[in-house]
Structure 1
């Protein structure tokens, strides 16, 4: 798949592509990412990409024309059929929130053009004419769309075959269908007893001894406990989808009695 990123700060992406386990996806071009600076497509001696907003107000607004020229260059480079152009995605507070289902859908797609806004925003005329979808990380505002673009690319890259050392790792992630969309359970590692600030703390007994069925039930119960306490809507969604077993429901009833 291929993602073309329109950004005024392409240098922000370089460390991300070279660090961590997901770099495998970018180095192998399983996730082929190409960076485009709209300033390279601006006109005039100053290569201006922003101007004051009509009607007044603080800040500057990204101009439509440099973005349009940049997008046209991307379309030519991608050499796509006119009726099968990659969608243009704008990162914006009004967009649909990025979640696991969206990341999975993008990991099974041919990619997209990711538009990273800056300043007070982008000329609405360009959005109306060229943007197909808007995506948000949450109910807060960032200085630009680059962090959101990196979040989307990372969530997609780790789902690609061979990227994670253990093929089953992402299946145990929070929100994954393999966990019925619930939160993941807590994790423990060596030493078996940690001399913490409040004294020695041992690993839960259920995780010791190699009894796989007992371990699986313990982790499921912990997942249910966390989800019910922190994100009860996830439990409701799993129940509505028929993803809770009789054992799950029995355990949840014990939580209500506590």
Structure 2
């Protein structure tokens, strides 16, 4: 999986991509993440990348030329054919595990990080294939959402996680939130690990975990629980 990121702030990505799982995934060549500074492709003598919106309004809008030329450079450099181009925007479809699973099957993904009041609509019409939001709130720019997508999608790439089954037992599998986890010591500040987890009976442990997942999902995400019930009825 190759990620190509278009951004005005490349240094934001440095720390996160050089730590923990992401660093190992890149070192082991399971993924690659190339960062492109949109400002480098501006033909304006002052490297300007934004301007006032036509029709008036607050804020500035990212101009199309630098973004398109960055995209064109990525496509030609990597010999890409009709790549997925994801624009991170509050107007997009809300990101979830299903979308992550779908995107993980791509060989290349271009991530476009917006700033200011957004980008010129013509760029969206010309090159963007998917508009994605990470939630119903507004951030300063698309860099944090881009990192979230890179992290989430990378976990689904074979060989990135230590065990292939790791991501299969996490939250949102079958629309259920994950069950509680415990480790040593068996007792901490008077609170004991549930006996069933110490029983060695894997059937009982699986039942306990499934019931806890259902309980937590029902309490915290009734919207997901509706999907679980619907799926069970269709089986």
Relative to the length of structure 1, the TM-score reads 0.86
Distance 1:107 1:125 in 2: 27
User: Would you say 1:45 and 2:35 are equivalent positions?
Assistant: no
Contact 2:30 2:159 in 1 (8 A): no
- Equivalent pairs counted in the alignment come to 235
In structure 1, runs of 5+ residues without a counterpart are 246-258
Distance 2:68 2:52 in 1: 18
In structure 2, runs of 5+ residues without a counterpart are none
**Change in 2 beyond 3 A, CA 1:243/1:108:** farther
Structure 2 counterpart of 1:190, from 174, 184, 187:
184
Which stretch shows the higher mean deviation, 47-56 or 233-242?
233-242
Residue by residue, what CA displacement relative to the aligned partner does 1:215-238 show, whole Å, maximum 9, x if unpaired?
Answer: 111111101111111122323322
Runs of 4+ in 1 over 3 A off after TM superposition: none
Contact 1:96 1:136 in 2 (8 A): yes
User: Would you say 1:202 and 2:187 are equivalent positions?
Assistant: no
1:145 is aligned to 142
Residue by residue, what CA displacement relative to the aligned partner does 1:53-105 show, whole Å, maximum 9, x if unpaired?
Answer: 2222222110011111111111111213xxx3102110011111111111111
User: Would you say 1:23 and 2:23 are equivalent positions?
Assistant: yes
Distance 2:194 2:233 in 1: 26
Residue by residue, what CA displacement relative to the aligned partner does 1:173-219 show, whole Å, maximum 9, x if unpaired?
Answer: 1112xxx2211101111111111xxxx11111111121111111111
1:103 is aligned to 100
Distance 1:170 1:126 in 2: 35
Provide the aligned C-alpha RMSD in A: 1.7
Distance 1:172 1:129 in 2: 39
Distance 1:54 1:45 in 2: 22
Contact 1:95 1:134 in 2 (8 A): yes
Q: Deviation of residue 242 (structure 1)?
A: 2.7
Distance 1:233 1:122 in 2: 32
Relative to the length of structure 2, the TM-score reads 0.94
Distance 2:92 2:197 in 1: 41
**Change in 2 beyond 3 A, CA 1:194/1:134:** same
1:1-258 aligned at under 5 Å gives the runs: 1-80=1-80, 84-176=81-173, 180-195=174-189, 200-242=190-232
Distance 2:217 2:177 in 1: 6
Distance 1:44 1:163 in 2: 41
Distance 1:111 1:194 in 2: 46
Q: Deviation of residue 243 (structure 1)?
A: 7.7
